[in-house]
Each structure stands twice: as C-alpha cells, then as structure tokens.
Amino acid sequence: MPNALVIIMAETVRLDVGGMTCDGCSNRVKESLEALSGVVSADVSHEDGVAEISHSGVSRDDLSTAVRSVGYTVDGQGEDFHWRDSAVWWQSANNTKWCLIGCSIGDFGTIAAFQFIFTDSGWSAMMIMALAMFNGIMTSIALETFILLSQMPLYEAFRVAIGMSLISMISMEAAMNVTDFVLTGGAKLTWWVILPMLIAGFLTPWPYNYWRLKKFGVACH
C-alpha cells in the first residue's frame, strides 16, 4: 500500500541536461537523481539530452542541483565552478590515468624503437619526440575507443574518443618528452627517467581535466 501511494502521488519533471555524451554520463545523472529522497525513478538519455524524473515532493531546483553537482548542465546552466570537489578530482584523476596509459604505450614504444632498433635512422631527438607525441595521441585514442566499446557501438566510441580533449593529450605528451629531454639530454629511455616522465605527464593535464569535467561535464569513463 505505501508503494502504491507513492506511485499515485508521483509527479513527472523533464530536465534538459547538457554535457552527456555516453551511457556512463547517463548513468551518473540517473544515480545522482535517484539518490534524492522522494525521487521514484529517473529515465536519462544522453542521446536526447533529457532526464525524465518521477518524484514525490522534490523541487525542480533540488533536481537541477543534483544534476549540476556531478558536472552536467540543466537548461544551459552548470554549477558555479570551484576547485573543492573531491569527487571530480578523483574522477578526473581516473580519466587522466587512462589517457596516460594510452599515451605512454605509443610514446615509450616509439622512443624505444629508435633507441634500440632504428639506431642509425639519422633522426634528431626533436624529430623522434614529435613522432612519439603523435603516436602517443593515436594509441590513447585507440585505448579510449576500446574502453568505450562496453558502453556504445564502435563508431560512436571512436567519435567520442576523438572528441576527448586534444589539449589534455598534447600537454601530457609535451610534459613527458620535455622531462625526458631535460633529464637525459635526448629522446632516451632509462629505468630512472620513466617514473618522472609519468608523473609529469599525469600532473600537467590533471587540473585542466578537472576544470573541463567540473565546468562542462565532459568525460566518459
């Protein structure tokens, strides 16, 4: 009887939600809404950019705040930006980690190839680093696409991966290669330079990824 009463009294509200690009985004919005006391259910579509919420006695402002708190916009307005959201720091760190793994595969692989295989290529350190950066970005996109395949078809996964922050990947690659050059004097891999490269590659784009996620809700992990 209590459940039937809730269903009878439930109202439906439709919110226009911006910043969603995949099922992961839809699920985050759905979870944030259904965590509110009084919300019966939430049907969220990233394709349509809407959330339809059945609730009992929950204000539209509270529903909108719940959506904005996880990094998405409602009616074109997001949460006021600040640097104090530990959940967003954690999520952006996870996003940065996966990007770093993808970039490192192509970057380290390229440098190692010229260091141990194509030793007489005649390429300068700058040329090798430029190629390493390009290959790192490509492997990062490939890894992002693979991760997203669990959430969407191949074409859409590739499109979303391509649309992820090029600024983040370029800054990550630049930081890694500059660190390598400063510490070794060239495009070289040694056991002691890998960790500083990874740390620089992680820390450089992390604040940007936080800002992008917090302000625009752009992330798909």
CA nearest 73: which of 23, 19, 33?
19
Q: Is residue 163 part of a domain?
A: yes
Query: What is the residue range of 193's domain?
Result: 86-216
**Number of structural domains in the chain:** 2
Q: What is the mean pLDDT of residues 114-125?
A: 95
pTM to 2 decimals?
0.73
Share of the chain above pLDDT 90, in %: 60
Question: What are 16's two structure tokens?
Answer: 């226009």
Q: What is the mean pLDDT of residues 115-134?
A: 96
User: Domain check: are 100 and 162 in the same one?
Assistant: yes
Q: Is residue 81 part of a domain?
A: no
**Cα dihedral 86, 88, 91, 92 sign:** negative
Give the pLDDT of residue 19: 81
Give the pLDDT of residue 148: 81
Q: Is residue 79 part of a domain?
A: no
Cα–Cα distance for residue pair 36/30, rounded to 1 Å: 10
Q: Is residue 30 part of a domain?
A: yes
Q: Is residue 93 part of a domain?
A: yes
User: Domain check: are 40 and 122 in the same one?
Assistant: no
Q: Count the neighbouring beta carbons within 10 Å of the beta carbon of residue 217.
A: 24
Q: What is the mean pLDDT of the chain?
A: 88
User: Domain check: are 92 and 190 in the same one?
Assistant: yes
Q: Are 52 and 43 in contact (CB under 8 A)?
A: yes
Is the pLDDT at 182 greater than 60? The verdict is yes
User: Domain check: are 49 and 128 in the same one?
Assistant: no
Give the pLDDT of residue 136: 97
Q: Are 177 and 132 in contact (CB under 8 A)?
A: yes
DSSP string, the chain: -HHHHHHHH-EEEEEEEES--SHHHHHHHHHHHHTSTTEEEEEEETTTTEEEEEESS--HHHHHHHHHHTT-EETTB-PPP-S--HHHHHHHHHHHHHHHHHHHHHHHHHHHHHHHT-TTS---HHHHHHHHHHHHHHHHHHHHHHHHTTTS-HHHHHHHHHHS-HHHHHHHHHHHHHHHHHHHSSS---TTTHHHHHHHHHHTTHHHHHHHHHHH-----
User: Domain check: are 45 and 106 in the same one?
Assistant: no
pLDDT per residue as tens digits for the range 28-53: 899 999 999 999 999 999 889 999 99
User: Domain check: are 68 and 149 in the same one?
Assistant: no
User: Domain check: are 35 and 103 in the same one?
Assistant: no
Share of the chain above pLDDT 70, in %: 93
The residue ranking higher by pLDDT, 72 or 111, is 111
Q: Which pLDDT band, with edges at 50, 70 and 90, does 9 fall under?
A: low
Give the pLDDT of residue 69: 81
Q: Which pLDDT band, with edges at 50, 70 and 90, does 217 fall under?
A: low
Give the pLDDT of residue 219: 55
pLDDT per residue as tens digits for the range 68-106: 888 788 987 777 778 988 888 998 999 899 999 999 999
User: Domain check: are 92 and 30 in the same one?
Assistant: no
